[in-house]
Structure 1
């Protein structure tokens, strides 16, 4: 699989891995989604990466799997990788035949937290393109898909993700700053969210809090809560309850113009 480096050589995690994108391109596709696997900020779950990108390809959407830096050596820095990924794909949209206003992001569990943070904390940055031109490129995704996401670093959060990302001695201010529901504004992009009511690893309150924050700021969203299915199912192919999330998400993506 091709690797598209999105950071300088010295930017690596504790395994020596430099953040990169794996492209899954569809001929003639004009929209793309960047996929962020989960793993508690300690590893990246394979079944939430490549297979999800291939499912997006089946919907006529190009995809990029982001292999972001892990912690604890680089606590708090995965957000930089999420932002860099959006900027890279947007800056090179014409190279991939994409529209720069059709760049979305999708994540599972801790990757869902990184997705939510990337979707709520964004800025513009100057990027030098391959032809030497310098452009100011935004890291704001045009939509986000949150799959059984870690959202808050406060009550009902996932302690493992919190400790891996922030450490065990994080201040109240730092915890609040990494609670995605607190970062929502009227500029947050539309969202598709799904969770299970019996998720014991990442309680459903995470998705409910995010949905409430979106509603309070007038941001369009679609929320699905399945009665059972636990945590970490990925595509959940064939599951009698949550197996329908991919169909519902595909419908939502197409309604957004993807």
Structure 2
């Protein structure tokens, strides 16, 4: 499993990197962090991630999953959904935590400006919005968010969930009532801390399918 920390495409959040790998390793899932390029325009991060997926596959990985948080979740979704991927670029399952999914909303604007620039036209913003990229061949998704997230509102998760449902793609969605953005493992964060147990159950089904 490839872990993609958040950070608004400007940095890599440490608490969404090594601690996530340690947790996945405890579940018996081989995982490592991919530190994708920062402060660069699309499609540079996507190309880098696809190259990493190909490298993992060439090293013998059979099933490859992505786990991304915030902007890392956006990149994970792009790699799973954007057209132009080759067979060796494919991923089999995706886990998103409070992910940016839409470049058509004004949230989270700083990440959009880094990735697309100030004058991104509607077509570019649409083509990098995950809900617009879902097809009947898309992989299964697990998504979680908090209703109180002020930086990336849960509407981002809802948008993608509606698109997945419309295309009959297996998915799980959990939106917890309380909690800020960027919770990571969410230890001690009330009900949101349940996401790891829920994801572990989902991963047991999809990581070994």
TM-score clears 0.5: yes
**Alignment partner of 1:206 is 2:174:** no
Structure 2: gaps of 5 or more residues = none
CA contact (8 A) 1:151 1:157 kept: no
> Which residue of the partner structure matches residue 112 of structure 1?
73
Structure 1: gaps of 5 or more residues = 1-32, 125-136
Which of 1 and 2 has greater Rg?
1
Q: State the shift of 1:237 in Å.
A: 1.1
What is the aligned length?
Answer: 207
Q: CA RMSD in A?
A: 1.2
Distance in 2 (alpha carbons) for counterparts of 1:45 and 1:36: 9
| 1:154 counterpart SS class | coil
CA contact (8 A) 2:65 2:207 kept: no
| 2:19 counterpart SS class | helix
More helix as a share of residues: 2
Structure with greater contact order relative to length (CA < 8 Å, sep ≥ 6):
2
Q: State the shift of 1:247 in Å.
A: 0.6
**Alignment partner of 1:235 is 2:202:** no
Distance in 2 (alpha carbons) for counterparts of 1:91 and 1:190: 23
Deviation per residue, 1:126-155 (Å, 9 max, x gap):
xxxxxxxxxxx5211100001000000012
**Alignment partner of 1:38 is 2:6:** yes
Distance in 2 (alpha carbons) for counterparts of 1:42 and 1:232: 14
* TM-score, with structure 2 as normaliser: 0.95
Distance in 2 (alpha carbons) for counterparts of 1:60 and 1:103: 14
**Alignment partner of 1:47 is 2:15:** yes
CA contact (8 A) 1:108 1:148 kept: yes
> Which residue of the partner structure matches residue 221 of structure 1?
171
Q: Runs of at least 4 residues of structure 1 off by over 2 A?
A: none
Distance in 2 (alpha carbons) for counterparts of 1:214 and 1:75: 23
Distance in 2 (alpha carbons) for counterparts of 1:75 and 1:219: 26
Distance in 2 (alpha carbons) for counterparts of 1:47 and 1:257: 23
Q: State the shift of 1:187 in Å.
A: 1.0
Q: State the shift of 1:86 in Å.
A: 1.4
